[in-house]
Structure 1
């Protein structure tokens, strides 16, 4: 049976979120102005913030620390890393973690996985956001899938006000380098980070090689791993989701793991889950 990606349940079409369409279109449009505001320092800011908010905030923080608890850090450091994740503009921590845990619990299920790859590339890449389903986007419904975070007043606050954190970032960037820094450090960085993160939902369930016979179509894809600081070794991750290291072979580069290993070396990370002998 052919599956229609714009059905939430048989016979119940999804509705396009026009506020989301306008928001994402606007951010992409402003990012397209970047050639007219180019400077090497602005490009450097974009690259640095892509790493800081992407690798440390999302990959290390939202994903490996909060979603899977693959290692532990002091609470003050956990909160600081979660703020970096919130600055990525990919949603609050409770929203992100709940959705990702559902993805692992029901991988590629057309109805239970928020960004099921079986609905097609564009659904898993972005349409799941533009056609939001209430069970994944309404706080009272999704928070029960991240109860450990929902019980914490700090995470509830961050989940509600993550968008407002962009204001001080924008003001700081403008003070440091004017509109060039704002366009590169916020808009261009945000667009690139969105799509590189979304590639893990889409392309790594379509293309690449499989090291493990996991119960899904997850794949290891080298170029996605480079763009996402190691997250592209997705078949490894789906086979052992609670392992802190996604790149297992010597040539599977995992920059996020390097950061976790550094934290462990200086005594800030403990109980780090390592790959089993396989």
Structure 2
């Protein structure tokens, strides 16, 4: 995308979009100049932002493969963003044909591109909804058509909860989805932290408040751990992105704290 002509309804051309910024970080094409300018400002704060985005994407793919190996065949990807190569349905359906995936996002551009990408795939769909209203997501016809809540479901919250303010109650949002899941279901999430690089996290938070559609609230390890209430974390627990079950060919960085995002996967036991 090179301009804002033909934008879907509801897009604010004067604000960088969280979804389009992430697309730009990953080298995608579904973003505008305003998004790339915001990513450039992010890069001035943290020069390895694109490396961080790729590490986050790699975790998502590792987590999906782990969940497929654990027997999961149903996925709900909350705040899924703009579809790019190696998305959840590609990874899951490649490993286990027939796996069902529901993407959820409130960004009109992300929804429009997801609809186009998923056209003709009967086992994957997109819901235009806001995760701040879990009941709307869970009652959406697309969710009810594809997801069997009598069988294990994996809910993915990948770099989405730090866009939820304390007043919007991220713990309550996770709990609402958790309570709709049967035992044996899963939660995978990543979340920005201010434990290791508080100045960087604060500067990025200000950038998103000033220039993007959603603010960023980085949280501590203990605060992010609390989001897993009702889930039992699998090894290695809640760790920096590159440390969660890296593939054999992946190099573990000398200082994982440079990746100021925690990652974890937990199983609902009751």
TM-score (norm 2): 0.31
- The structure richer in strand per residue is 2
The structure, 1 or 2, with the larger RCO (C-alpha pairs under 8 Å, 6+ apart) is 1
TM-score (norm 1): 0.31
| Structure having the higher Rg | 1
